[in-house]
Structure 1
Amino acid sequence: MIDVTVENFEAEVVAASMNVPVLVDFWAPWCGPCKSLGPVLEKLETEYAGRFKLAKIDSDQEQQLAGMFGIRSIPTCVLLMNGQPVDGFMGALPEGQVRAFLDKHVPTAEEMAAEAEEEEAQEALADGDTGTALEKLQHAVVTDPSNDDARFDYVKLLLQLGREDDAKVAFAPVIAKAAVSRKLGALKAWMDAIDFVANGAYGVSAEVDFEAKITANKRDFDTRYARARWLMAQQRWTDAMDELLEILMRDKAWNEEAARKTYVAILEVIEAPKPKVAEGQIPPEDPVVATYRRRLSSVVLS
């Protein structure tokens, strides 16, 4: 619990809510119901062990903040997430109702643990420690099987390391979501490309063979698409997108927009996780991803 004023509001409430939900309790020393609600909130903050942060604002002393939130009666509680108010309640609710309110928004202990593991994995990857990153991501998925972001990063890293069989096992629980999730669909497109190459007759002369066929017929889209998937399987991402662009420049709708869909899948795969930034700031974009997004837009919209 922390007492919030105009001076520390930005840091203790807005910035803090980018990482953890912040429950702001507007109260006053003379308010009887506030005195009964306060201990309940403090007890739950301790019990929830970091899953939300309690901030208390004396509405008499901090009238500017009370006015900013439109507070008309106390106690009033407002929950902020990612810098924005998302919900709230008025009055001294009993503990059970406050708990139910929090449980609608506050992450579970498992979700918090998995998110921490995922962040540590990204730090390990940034340091080039793929072994630690893989261990952290695997643990995150086991801790919270519903965390599709952690699973995406885990399967992606397995594929990057050439562990296709392990990737397929890890991906199996969410394969049904691939049709409705862009990120999971991107992984499936990558794995499909690997299987396509493994099942095809592509020897050491594959690149020469592809080039010969395409030189003979620039509109041989089947060969161009096969080459793009062959390049995907080798993780030659920009080469694969360049080949897909060649199809798109000639026929955007070919094969039910297969080239565009595969291109978008590659962008999803190669885009690095965006770092957390303060409210109002835009996280930096990978320059390669930005360039190829622009190229896709210019071709599709032309």
Structure 2
Amino acid sequence: MIDITVENFETEVIAASMQVPVLVDFWAPWCGPCKSLGPILEKLEVDYAGRFKLAKIDSDQEQQIAAMFGIRSIPTCVLLMNGQPVDGFTGAQPEGQVRAFLDKHLPPADAFDEPQDEVPDPLAAQEDPAAALEKLQQAVAADPANDDARFDYVKALLQQGREDDAKVAFAPVIAKAGVSRKLGALKVWMDAIDSVAMAADVSSAGAEFDTKIAANKRDFDARFGRAQWLIAQQCWTDAMDELLEILMRDKGWNDEAARKTYVAVLEIIEPPKVKVAEGQIPPQDPVLASYRRRLSSVVLS
């Protein structure tokens, strides 16, 4: 068990969860149910002998982290694996229910008893990108009206740099881009790629935007161009940071182009929905939650 602060959060939670699941317990000294749940979690960390790591966050002292996770009540526990929240629960659950929660996600105990050279590489177990793409293509072919499947397929093509194939796959639904948030987000992405491709020297475009912005912080055309350049490179958070710079200075600039593009990026990076059992809270990506709050803060200010 380790106490988490802003200073060690990245190392002890995000980075650590790439190696072993991390169960984050949001608590506070005044919280009665927290005092009941805490000893159970600490006991289970010992019983599970390294199968997960317990990280405790005082939600009063570390309000920034609690806000990142959208914590509204305590105790709240969130399980992170490979840097991402995968599940969670609220309230002082009895030991049996916490064990059931852990057993649903953690690797079996005997996996830790295997010789190191026999432990399978988790990356090797993941589906080959080409095979995953083929499945998405088949899903679209089987049901061309399934916009969710088409969104996933086009998104996967763009992620792999196959812009021409993505445009072909997107063509049948391009008319819906104005009324569908998901499909509209894909169009924003492809428009950004096209815009960058038109630059005389793509490699130096970023530096040119930086020079213009340094000379005039209200050069919104340059800021928006830089945001598109970042989107084309799939640098999502950097792109949203640039768009926020526009929004903080002029929310309505260019028919709210910055806000609309920001929302499109949020849609693109939204992780797949995770089913949770009754009484549990759906996990939230802390980065995504943080950028949603930042947008709301700027737009509503």
TM category, shorter: 0.5 to 0.7
1:176-235 deviation per Cα after TM superposition (whole angstroms, max 9, x unaligned):
111000000000000000011111224322222111110100000000000000110010
Q: Is the 8 A contact 2:227 2:239 kept in 1?
A: yes
Q: Where does residue 248 of structure 1 map in the other structure?
A: 247
Letter paired with 2:216? N
Cα pair distance change 1:191/1:279, threshold 3 Å: same
Q: Is the 8 A contact 2:151 2:183 kept in 1?
A: yes
1:55-108 deviation per Cα after TM superposition (whole angstroms, max 9, x unaligned):
xxxxxxxxxxxxxxxxxxxxxxxxxxxxxxxxxxxxxxxxxxxxxxxxxxxxxx
Q: Is the 8 A contact 1:224 1:243 kept in 2?
A: yes
Letter paired with 2:200? A
Match of 1:176, SS state, is helix
Q: Which runs of 5+ in 2 are unaligned?
A: 1-122
CA–CA separation in structure 1 for the residues paired with 2:167 and 2:261: 19
CA–CA separation in structure 2 for the residues paired with 1:243 and 1:264: 13
Q: Is the 8 A contact 1:210 1:224 kept in 2?
A: yes
CA–CA separation in structure 2 for the residues paired with 1:173 and 1:229: 24
Q: Where does residue 291 of structure 2 map in the other structure?
A: 292
CA–CA separation in structure 2 for the residues paired with 1:184 and 1:245: 22
Q: Where does residue 126 of structure 2 map in the other structure?
A: 127
CA–CA separation in structure 2 for the residues paired with 1:282 and 1:126: 28
Cα pair distance change 1:128/1:301, threshold 3 Å: farther
Q: Is the 8 A contact 2:251 2:259 kept in 1?
A: yes
Q: Scaled by the length of structure 2, what TM-score is found?
A: 0.57
Q: Does 1:151 align with 2:153?
A: no
CA–CA separation in structure 2 for the residues paired with 1:208 and 1:199: 16
Q: Where does residue 177 of structure 1 map in the other structure?
A: 176
Q: CA RMSD in A?
A: 2.0
CA–CA separation in structure 2 for the residues paired with 1:146 and 1:203: 36
Q: Is the 8 A contact 1:125 1:133 kept in 2?
A: no
Name the structure, 1 or 2, with higher relative contact order (CA <8 Å, separation 6+): 2
Q: Is the 8 A contact 1:178 1:185 kept in 2?
A: yes
The structure 1 segments of at least 4 consecutive aligned residues displaced by more than 4 Å after TM superposition are none
Cα pair distance change 1:192/1:144, threshold 3 Å: same
Letter paired with 1:173? P
CA–CA separation in structure 1 for the residues paired with 2:231 and 2:201: 14
Cα pair distance change 1:126/1:265, threshold 3 Å: farther
Letter paired with 1:131? A
Q: Which runs of 5+ in 1 are unaligned?
A: 1-123
List aligned pairs for 1:11-50, cutoff 5 A: none
List aligned pairs for 1:67-106, cutoff 5 A: none
CA–CA separation in structure 2 for the residues paired with 1:144 and 1:125: 30
Cα pair distance change 1:267/1:217, threshold 3 Å: same
Following TM superposition, by how much is the alpha carbon of 1:164 offset from its aligned partner in structure 2, in angstroms? Answer: 0.3
Match of 1:235, SS state, is coil
1:223-269 deviation per Cα after TM superposition (whole angstroms, max 9, x unaligned):
00000001100101111000000000000000010000000000000
1:106-158 deviation per Cα after TM superposition (whole angstroms, max 9, x unaligned):
xxxxxxxxxxxxxxxxxx99925312210111111111111111110000000
Q: Where does residue 196 of structure 1 map in the other structure?
A: 195
1:27-78 deviation per Cα after TM superposition (whole angstroms, max 9, x unaligned):
xxxxxxxxxxxxxxxxxxxxxxxxxxxxxxxxxxxxxxxxxxxxxxxxxxxx
Q: If you compute each CA radius of gyration, which structure gives the higher value, 1 or 2?
A: 1
Following TM superposition, by how much is the alpha carbon of 1:272 offset from its aligned partner in structure 2, in angstroms? Answer: 1.0
CA–CA separation in structure 2 for the residues paired with 1:204 and 1:164: 18
Cα pair distance change 1:221/1:201, threshold 3 Å: same
List aligned pairs for 1:228-239, cutoff 5 A: 228-239=227-238
Following TM superposition, by how much is the alpha carbon of 1:281 offset from its aligned partner in structure 2, in angstroms? Answer: 3.6
Letter paired with 1:263? Y
Following TM superposition, by how much is the alpha carbon of 1:277 offset from its aligned partner in structure 2, in angstroms? Answer: 2.0
Q: Scaled by the length of structure 1, what TM-score is found?
A: 0.57
Following TM superposition, by how much is the alpha carbon of 1:167 offset from its aligned partner in structure 2, in angstroms? Answer: 0.4
CA–CA separation in structure 1 for the residues paired with 2:127 and 2:235: 20
Q: Is the 8 A contact 2:196 2:202 kept in 1?
A: no
